[in-house]
A and B are shown apart, each in its own frame.
Chain A
């Protein structure tokens, strides 16, 4: 980006921001849903937003002994103690590095959270799609309920 490009970016940002207010509200039923693409170990997965309760970064996780190797520890989220699991270990994608900083709380019947390495982006996909097509590849959509619920209920 050159100095001339930065001035164009500024104009573009202003234009798009202003344009966002000029678009009419859509009354149609949305046929898409939002997912967030997470970086796990050596791969990436997508998680539906409606399966998430919140995403945090830099939360402190207290390690606790457990037979479950995927259990990272306990974290306090909005006044609740939430077990935190390593999503990569649960999905068989290796284990997140010790310096992970992202924590997401799944919207489950039992409160549970999982750690992941990177928050890549938020994407909109067609409703019911199990794959997210990105310019750099196709990413599977993970069902958190299916992955976390059994583990969280056991713990």
Chain B
């Protein structure tokens, strides 16, 4: 039981009280049922007694009616007798199910005496109606009175028995009532005592536990106060931050829309660039074909130039031969001149021929020099051209390779442009989706801002509530630990007294 919770104890106590109440109720019901039965018995006996009295009264009324008929001979008295007889019989019938065996026996005697009396009365009335018998007191005394006397005696006996029964029933009822009252009183006292004991136990437990709970409540309330205050401050900061975020989201949304517009422009430009790149690729292919043809032409030119160079060298070799011949001719001419000079006068003609030969050799030498110069120039020009052509060929090959690289690069550029265009379209789609998402986020942030403001307001209210809760806990502590709760409340400062709060919403 020590491990029971307070709720369990209260439940057990209330269960016990309920059980006791149930027992009390059952006992009360039983006793009251018994009392009701006693009352019903009393009522029955009363009715029996009343009916017996009615029987006696009816018998007297019959006797009175008989006397009236005897005296007046009026039919109405006969009718009244008959009616009274019927009433008497009805009363008998009514009594039968309500009486006991002893009373029933007496009632049977009454019925028998009633039949005898009725027979006597009927005969008397018939006789009186026939006017054969005068109204004679002795007839009454002889035939009617005894039977009436018997009837009334038996009726009285029945009445006595009925009264006795009633008295016994009343006595039993009184006894039963007394017993019921005692039982109920005892049970009530037990219940009251049990209730007092349970109340005392619960009060002690409540006091101790509630006191501890109140202390924990106070500490928790203090923590709640601090937490609520912190939450209020945090909510305020959050609300302001949310407002800033909302403003930032609006700016971000505007920026996103600009980005989306710029992306659309980029997509258009990328598509135009792709179209231009495709056209450029076609042009490059055509130019590449031209470069290849140029390269082939340059190759042919180089071949021709190399052939020209070889021919020039051959010409140079021929010139060397001519030059050598001219030189040898010159030497021969000089030697011929020398011989002519040695020959004196006879060598003068020979000297002339030698001189002409020398002149010819000089002219040939001079021409050879000029031709050599020309050939050298041609060879130089040819070499230069060959070199230039070879350089041009190399440049053409390099240019062709570069052009191929350019073609490949252009192809890569075209692929990149197409990829860029595709990426730009994806970026545009993503930008539109981002704009949509930012719009949704912006609206959500507006809602969050509103919620933050509401949370801030709620936090402030929470702080107020926690403050009131703290004052309530202090008041509760005073109540719990004070003998007079009202005085404890009165002793609280005004600001700490619990204020009435409406049970409606905030």
| Interface of A toward B, CB cutoff 8 Å | 1-3, 5-6, 9, 13, 16-17, 20, 25, 34, 36, 49-50, 52-57, 107, 119, 121-122
Contact = CB atoms under 8 A, between A and B. Distances in A.
B342 A122 contact: no
A53 B338 CA distance: 6
By DSSP majority rule, is chain A's interface helix, strand, loop, or mixed? mixed
A13 B338 contact: no
Interface string B336-361: 01100110000001001000101110
Contact of A49 (B334, B349, B367): B334
A119 B338 contact: no
Contact of B371 (A6, A50, A54, A121): A6
Nearest to A121: B362
A86 B370 CA distance: 32
A119 B370 contact: no
A58 B352 CA distance: 27
Interface string B151-168: 000000000000000000
Contacts of B333: 122
Contacts of B374: 1-3, 5-6
A20 B331 contact: no
Contact of B334 (A2, A16, A122): A122
A36 B352 contact: no
6 contacts: A9-B370, A16-B359, A25-B352, A50-B338, A50-B342, A121-B362
B362 A20 contact: no
A25 to B, nearest CB: 7
A50 B341 contact: yes
A20 B359 contact: yes
A121 B371 CA distance: 19
Nearest to A107: B342
B337 A122 contact: yes
Interface in B363-377: 363-364, 367, 370-371, 373-374
Given A1-B373, A49-B341, A50-B341, A55 B335 contact: yes
Contacts of A9: 367, 370-371
B337 A34 contact: yes
Contacts of B337: 34, 49, 122
Given A50-B342, A55-B335, A55-B338, 7 more contacts: A3-B374, A9-B371, A13-B367, A20-B360, A49-B334, A49-B337, A57-B331
A11 to B, nearest CB: 11
A34 B358 CA distance: 12
A63 B378 CA distance: 43
B239 to A, nearest CB: 100
Query: In the complex, which of the residues B335, B349, B352, B362 has the most CB atoms of chain A within 10 Å of its own CB atom?
Result: B335
Query: In the complex, which of the residues B327, B334, B338, B356 has the most CB atoms of chain A within 10 Å of its own CB atom?
Result: B338
A56 B371 CA distance: 26
A17 B338 contact: no
B292 to A, nearest CB: 35
A17 B334 contact: no
A136 to B, nearest CB: 15
A55 B362 contact: no
B337 to A, nearest CB: 5
